[in-house]
Structure 1
Amino acid sequence: MKNKTVFFVLSIILLQLMGCAQQKKTDITFKTDVYKFGSIQEEDAPVDLSFSFTNTGEEDLIIDQLKADVGIDNLKWPSAAIAPGESGLLEAKFNPKGSSGRVNKHITVYSNAKAATVVLRISGNIIPKPGSIAARYRKTFPNTDLRLATSYLNYGNIKNTEERTKELKIINTGNADMSLSFKGMPVFASAQAVPAVLKPNEEGLILVTFDGSKIADKEGKPVWGKQTNHFYLVINGEEDRSNRNLISIRSTIIEDFENLSEEELAIAPRIKFEEIVFDFDTIVKGDNVSHDFVYTNLGENDLEIRHVKAS
């Protein structure tokens, strides 16, 4: 019984010592957490990145791991513990090949500091090589090998009876096959990837069909005027939880009068405003100004105001 008691006490002491060891935290302070490389050419050599830091705590600092966005590699960090008051250097390389436009990348630092993770930012502008993939496919999504010519579709004026298809050009810049599916597709739109599976370095299309007869509000009533909608790409079945793989659809819904006869057009409603400009002159910030725009229906049939939108 006595031996069991001694063993129990020793076990408690050992657990307490382990707990103390696990609780030892320190502080890490970076000279700067942002690296701006300015404007460079896509064909330039990789950019050398370095971040200087100091252990500003009272315990040894241990850098466990670095993780970086696509395009950043050759990650280096001290393998030995950094004593309190001592400094160290984190190093990496950013390869501009395949990138274009404004770039924002990140390196995440994992350590035994009180702030267990620190995010370092790398930013700059990359001028694509004329005719290169980066020049032809300027849109990228974080941590994927998919590139798009654009992530924006503008259908312009589209009639409430019209169906129209537009295309997005895409390319798989990776080393493995890539499949695409779609999430959050509006009820009036449908999308198809062609081909269904993109081989490495293969170009393809996303065909998006807009059916003007199906666009409606939450109550099922037709909508009119300018509309902005979105859907998301799902790459290889993996959803981006932050919903950054966004495709935007813009349109202006107009009514189709083409099927009206000359007699119907002759008696159709016609709107005329007494004035179309109101000058409120100079007002004090915070004041409200109201004004009525008076209109008259000059036609023979009833006039229905479909939609009003203010800037």
Structure 2
Amino acid sequence: MKKLLLSLFASALVATAALAQAPTTAAPAGPDALVKFKTESINFGKTTLNKPVSVDFEFTNISKQPVLVEAARASCGCTTPKWTTEPILPGKTGKVTANYSANSVGNQTKTIWVKFKGVDQDKELKLNGEVLTAAPAAAAKTK
């Protein structure tokens, strides 16, 4: 009986020591722990067909380390994102610019996903508005 208890105690001690030495892998912080966007959704209002629209999504680095935007991609080929390419120091600002070609009439919603270095989760931004044909847009301006 003593051997059994001693054996169980030794096994528990070894298992505890192994767990204590195992590296802990904390889940990487999401983008909201690094940056704060002024707004995550921009409504560009109304524009006319084939009259491009450009909007800026500004953000501030709220972390204690420099932040780098690795990439940004859009939900379709009609939207082209550009971003601040140099590291953004703590407390400083950067931006993601979305250029939308406005090549389709109607209500539009476009998504831009921003990838920050060292973060697995992308930040999702929304751009929306209405694209009118030339005639209704001119009539809307006169009202």
TM-score by length of 2: 0.65
1:182 alignment partner in structure 2? 72
Find runs of 4+ consecutive structure 1 residues off by over 4 angstroms: 67-70
**SS of residue paired to 1:205:** strand
Do residues 230 (structure 1) and 119 (structure 2) align? no
Alpha-carbon spacing, 1:170–1:159, altered in 2? closer, same or farther (3 Å): same
1:69 positional shift: 9.2
Taking the aligned partners of 1:208 and 1:177, their CA distance within structure 2 comes to: 23
2:128 alignment partner in structure 1? 250
Taking the aligned partners of 1:230 and 1:178, their CA distance within structure 2 comes to: 22
Q: Would the aligned equivalents of 1:161 and 1:256 in 2 still touch at CA under 8 Å?
A: no
Structure 2 regions of 5+ residues with no counterpart?
A: 1-6, 16-23, 137-143
Do residues 211 (structure 1) and 104 (structure 2) align? no
Q: Which among 106, 116, 120 is matched to residue 239 of structure 1?
A: 120
* 1:135-154 equivalence runs, <5 A: 141-142=31-32, 144-154=33-43
Q: Would the aligned equivalents of 2:111 and 2:127 in 1 still touch at CA under 8 Å?
A: yes
TM-score by length of 1: 0.32
1:228 positional shift: 1.7
Q: Would the aligned equivalents of 2:40 and 2:57 in 1 still touch at CA under 8 Å?
A: yes
Could you tell me the percent identity over the aligned residues? 10
Alpha-carbon spacing, 1:168–1:184, altered in 2? closer, same or farther (3 Å): closer
**SS of residue paired to 2:131:** strand
Do residues 166 (structure 1) and 83 (structure 2) align? no
**SS of residue paired to 2:97:** strand
Alpha-carbon spacing, 1:185–1:178, altered in 2? closer, same or farther (3 Å): farther
Q: Which has the higher helix share?
A: 2
1:185 positional shift: 4.1
Structure 1 regions of 5+ residues with no counterpart?
A: 1-13, 23-64, 71-139, 214-222, 259-311
Q: Would the aligned equivalents of 1:172 and 1:200 in 2 still touch at CA under 8 Å?
A: yes
**SS of residue paired to 2:68:** strand
Alpha-carbon spacing, 1:69–1:233, altered in 2? closer, same or farther (3 Å): closer
* 1:45-84 equivalence runs, <5 A: none
